[in-house]
Amino acid sequence: LRKNVEDFTGPRERSDLGFVTFDITADILNEKNGLQTFRNESTSIIFDWNVKQLFLYLSAEYSTKNNALNQVVLWDKIMLRGDNPRLSLKDMKSKYFFFDDGNGLKGNRNITLTLSWNVVPNAGILPLVTGSGHVSVPFPDTYETTKSY
């Protein structure tokens, strides 16, 4: 699981707005509870007979002066049983606005992006699984006024 990002912050009234561009390379088929399985083990562990779909989401987690913990979902995707389980997305823009509750993005060095998914069964328990691999994104110290997103 790999992600590469480039980013900058933009001024927006009272709250910081972050812009993140990212690549996602993921092989959902071979992930099990965040651990990568080796090739000689059986595949299709995630998409078994009782899995209807996976709801994938990329979330940014960080701390600010205002709030000890912040989580913002930047992007999501529904992966139905039968869809291609390999993701190879490049230069994606976040689907949702990355607003902070305050001004905690400026100069924040430690924003962690993680890919997780909600397993939706045909019937039964609804677990949330976090994929292995995460990327740390530092935001710059200044606001960007000229770049357009």
Which residues form the interface with another protein (CB under 8 A)?
A: 52-53, 55, 57, 59, 61, 66-73, 76, 78, 80, 96, 99, 101, 116, 118, 120-126, 128
| Nearest distance, CB of residue 14 and another protein, angstroms | 12
Which of residues 90 and 95 has its CB atom nearest to another protein in the complex?
Answer: 95
The closest alpha carbon to 24, from 73, 62, 81, 75, belongs to 75
Which of residues 43 and 136 has its CB atom nearest to another protein in the complex?
Answer: 136
Which of residues 40 and 65 has its CB atom nearest to another protein in the complex?
Answer: 65
| N-terminal to C-terminal alpha carbon distance within the chain | 25
| Nearest distance, CB of residue 62 and another protein, angstroms | 11
What span, in angstroms and rounded, lies between the C-alpha atoms of 106 and 8?
A: 9
Maximum separation of any 2 CA atoms in the chain, in Å: 54
Which of residues 23 and 81 has its CB atom nearest to another protein in the complex?
Answer: 81
The closest alpha carbon to 112, from 72, 85, 146, 80, belongs to 72
The closest alpha carbon to 16, from 50, 53, 62, 55, belongs to 62
| Nearest distance, CB of residue 79 and another protein, angstroms | 11
Residue 9: φ, ψ to 5°: -105, 150
Residue 29: φ, ψ to 5°: -60, -35
| Nearest distance, CB of residue 101 and another protein, angstroms | 4
| Nearest distance, CB of residue 59 and another protein, angstroms | 5
Which of residues 48 and 142 has its CB atom nearest to another protein in the complex?
Answer: 48
